[in-house]
Structure 1
Amino acid sequence: MKKGFLALTCLVIFFCGSTVQASTALKYNVNASSSWVPYYIAGSAENPGILGELVPLLLAKANIEVEKNNYPPKRTNYALANGLLDFDFVSPSWFEDQKVGDNFVSSIAILVIQENIITLDKNAQKWQDVNQIKGKKIGTIRGYLYHDDTEFTRVDFTSERELIKALHKERVEAVISGDLPALYWAKKLNRPVTLAAIHSEGHLVMRLRKKHTALLPQINAAIAEFNQNGTTQSIIEKYTKQDVFSR
């Protein structure tokens, strides 16, 4: 999975009502590159992606008023690194010892981040054990890091979209992809795929600056409620579910 998942960020949080309040008005930024699909889909107001829809709902539930801004990805990353932004969304599995940084605290899990071996239904039984990739040609994405890529032969493509197309053209028999990106592009292209063995897994969390630790209970309560009442799963399925898919 690509590291540095820094798509969604916020600057200076304002809480209303009986909840904790910040001293200045909130500025909220959502931006990403095409590699964020389906978590964030640029230029699509009606279908902005899983996090594009979920995060504003979570913030509203936690009584956070927001003013949305759009920074380019490089500016967003710079702002976060230099203390100008207050939180982003990451998986602790991307960091050494799962430590998200000395200046941050983490929310509870928002959703699962998972990579699978992806293949066609007719080949699915051959790829139920992740060890089957050893010594094989496996579709991967150019520039992405894979923890075990010394054990198989990489066949690089430019995106998750191209991985799905390669499977159906039988250029490779199996690829490694995030489960939700693979299902999104299979649905979008009308080219069904099967999720076989899990390659890696973790959870997406909100990484919040320590100076705002007092806000975590409000954020965690909103996340927990959405996980319990099905709001999060419903949004995920909007972008990924199709009856022809075999899971």
Structure 2
Amino acid sequence: MNSAATILKYNVNGSSSWVPYYIPEQVENSGILGELVPQILSMAEIKVEKHNFPPKRTNQALEKGLLDFDFVSPSWFPKGDMGELFIQSEPILNIQENIITLEQNKSQWADITKIEGESIGTVRGYLYHDDDAFTRVDFGSEKQLIKALHKQRVQAAISGDLPALYWAKKLKMPIALASVHSRGVLVMRLRKEHSEMMPKINLAIAQLKTDGTIQALVDKYTQAEQYQQ
């Protein structure tokens, strides 16, 4: 395959609710990944084609080859296995998921095993490594999870720590970070037929780490919002 002529397809809407990683309504301040992805692919000299599948269709589109890559954490998959169709890049940045709840309920969810058999707020279309252990109650976004907690629709939910804190501040609806659900790293998940492109992608990631670009983007979207509580 001529990698120079290959155009990789990806979904700009797949993580559209994943603030502050993607902020789709912002053109210039489009989020950590919103700004970082074009830089990685430009440095790797890879052309891309943007699509707008609904979030719940992204995984199906990747498996069928309608899309070529997305950004995920191995920690979201049972035993970290993304399947035989994909390879993964070097880590781009660290991420963490927490059980989130209201402050007065925090102690009840201090042990991660407390989610077993319970109804837990989740984001529609997102992957969870242990979602056979609890009953998913799907909402459209992390923003909706925060509202659901305050409306008592669920007692606990699973969210990335930064998205949860971002929306809690934005909505003026305080939440607490209880037990850690998963710790991991964010990687590019790329279909194997494009594996010859991965060395260039990894070189670009390494350079953007070394020159401070990735950390600067994380700081831009989290430090000022981190959230003077």
TM-score normalized by structure 1? 0.68
For 2:71, the equivalent position in structure 1 comes to 89
- Does structure 1 residue 24 correspond to structure 2 residue 5? yes
Q: Give the secondary structure class of the aligned counterpart of 1:198.
A: strand
**Taking structure 1 as reference, are residues 140 and 149 closer, same or farther at Cα in structure 2, changes over 3 Å only?**
farther
Distance 1:215 1:150 in 2: 37
Structure 2 gaps, min length 5: none
Aligned mate of 2:31, from 49, 54, 58 = 49
- Does structure 1 residue 235 correspond to structure 2 residue 217? yes
Report if the CA contact (8 A) 1:194-1:245 is conserved.
no
Quote how far apart the aligned CAs of 1:220 are.
Answer: 1.3
Distance 1:61 1:210 in 2: 20
Q: Give the secondary structure class of the aligned counterpart of 1:36.
A: coil
Matched positions, count: 224
For 2:191, the equivalent position in structure 1 comes to 209
For 1:66, the equivalent position in structure 2 comes to 47
Quote how far apart the aligned CAs of 1:211 are.
Answer: 4.0
For 2:86, the equivalent position in structure 1 comes to 104
Quote how far apart the aligned CAs of 1:198 are.
Answer: 0.3
Aligned mate of 1:181, from 163, 166, 176 = 163
Distance 1:230 1:28 in 2: 27
Q: Deviations over 1:193-216 (max 9, x none)?
A: 332210123332112333443332
Report if the CA contact (8 A) 2:4-2:46 is conserved.
no
**Taking structure 1 as reference, are residues 122 and 195 closer, same or farther at Cα in structure 2, changes over 3 Å only?**
same
**Taking structure 1 as reference, are residues 193 and 236 closer, same or farther at Cα in structure 2, changes over 3 Å only?**
farther
For 2:110, the equivalent position in structure 1 comes to 128
Q: Which has the higher contact order (CA 8 A, sep 6+)?
A: 2
Q: Structure 1 vs Structure 2: percent identity of aligned residues?
A: 52
Quote how far apart the aligned CAs of 1:169 are.
Answer: 5.2
**Taking structure 1 as reference, are residues 106 and 202 closer, same or farther at Cα in structure 2, changes over 3 Å only?**
same
Quote how far apart the aligned CAs of 1:56 are.
Answer: 0.7
Q: CA RMSD in A?
A: 3.8
Distance 1:172 1:81 in 2: 32
Quote how far apart the aligned CAs of 1:65 are.
Answer: 4.8
Q: Please tell me whether Structure 1 or Structure 2 has the larger radius of gyration of its CA atoms.
A: 1
TM-score normalized by structure 2? 0.72
Report the AA paired with residue 41 of structure 1. Answer: I
